[in-house]
Structure 1
């Protein structure tokens, strides 16, 4: 007997579950990323989940690709529109401060156990570091410090996301120290509110 063909789910239907998956990761960690938890966060049935995704493996592949697109590639594309490199590095600092650090922390744990997730995590770290370095080079010229500052910026971010002694103020100060060493004092408006607060 031929299998009944599914109708194509809408982007909205899929995104609803993908956002729910990121919420589960942020609030409950990688260990809680299960079908029931995702459906509960999406306020949806398992039937609607299986209309949106063929199976759990398709969902988890879509989830990690969605995270990469929305939390790395899209912000980089938006920051690339800022033509002044001094202003762009400040935008990158704000992006680094407002990333969904709790879900990113859970993704780093997931990446240690899943090759596909690890490949996305490594690609995200590299694309972020390369764009930060590119921006510092635009400010400093062909200066080896551009690569060094970009790598240190990523160390700050990864350390904050992976650490057990998180200090949002320390992350802000670390980013500001490097940015101010290149572009001069930043305004005293303060950092954006932590997305995990």
Structure 2
């Protein structure tokens, strides 16, 4: 570590990103309980000294990790989908995004959120941002705000249930996402009212 005038040199963004990516990988493989300094350092192939050069302490790292997850696995994906102008194509892209999220990491984040108010706040914000974006895409495609809200809420139920469930079927999730889009686009369910 380079020292200049008695000050520690600033860590590179690349070094920080390696630890953040490793943290998401650890969450995916070992769950929230496995998110430990040693596990993250092992995943990077680095020492704890290198970690403390990249991040001043564990609390700042975990705070950066959950913010990084939100930026990379929610905000960035929504920005990319927003560039698709055709709402039907956007709904198809959202299905693809939903199917390719790092579900194991997200499941671990949902467990982590139950124990950490900062993580919970970010996870709730990300879920609501996702739900609202899905609702807006449905609304552009079908023109019915009430139905769009229902389809978006159901999409989030499917995603959260899949991530939290013990019996997962990627094919069933894909079928469900596609079935609801097909139903919405065909006008199905427009006379059904909440029970």
TM-score normalized by the length of structure 2: 0.91
Equivalent of 2:121, from 119, 122, 138? 119
The alignment status of 1:61 with 2:60, answered yes or no, reads no
The answer as to whether partners of 2:26 and 2:35 remain within 8 angstroms in 1 is yes
The aligned residue for residue 52 of structure 1 is 54
Q: Deviations over 1:72-121 (max 9, x none)?
A: 00000000000000000000010000000000000000000000000011
Gaps of 5+ in 1: 185-197
**Alpha-carbon distance between aligned partners in 1 of 2:152 and 2:6, rounded to the nearest angstrom:** 51
Shift of the alpha carbon at 1:168? Answer: 1.0
Partners of 2:67 and 2:122 within 8 A in 1: yes
What's the counterpart of residue 9 of structure 1?
11
Q: Deviations over 1:148-173 (max 9, x none)?
A: 00000000000000011111111111
Q: Does 1:138 align with 2:147?
A: no
Structure 1 residue 133 displacement after superposition: 0.2
Q: How does 1:148-159 map to 2 (within 5 A)?
A: 148-159=150-161
Question: For the residues of structure 1 that align with 2:41 and 2:7, how far apart are their CA atoms?
Answer: 23
Q: Does the Cα contact within 8 Å between 2:142 and 2:185 map onto a contact in 1?
A: no
Matching residue of 1:103: 105
1:89-100 map, 5 Å: 89-100=91-102
Offset at residue 4 of structure 1 (A): 4.3
Q: Counterpart in 2 of 1:36?
A: 38
* 2:8 partner SS: coil
Q: TM-score, normalised by structure 1?
A: 0.90
Q: Name the count of aligned residue pairs.
A: 182
Q: Distance in 1 between matches of 2:132 and 2:145?
A: 14
In the alignment, which of 116, 126, 129 is matched to residue 131 of structure 2?
Answer: 129
Structure 1 match to 2:192: none
* 2:188 pairs with 1:177: no
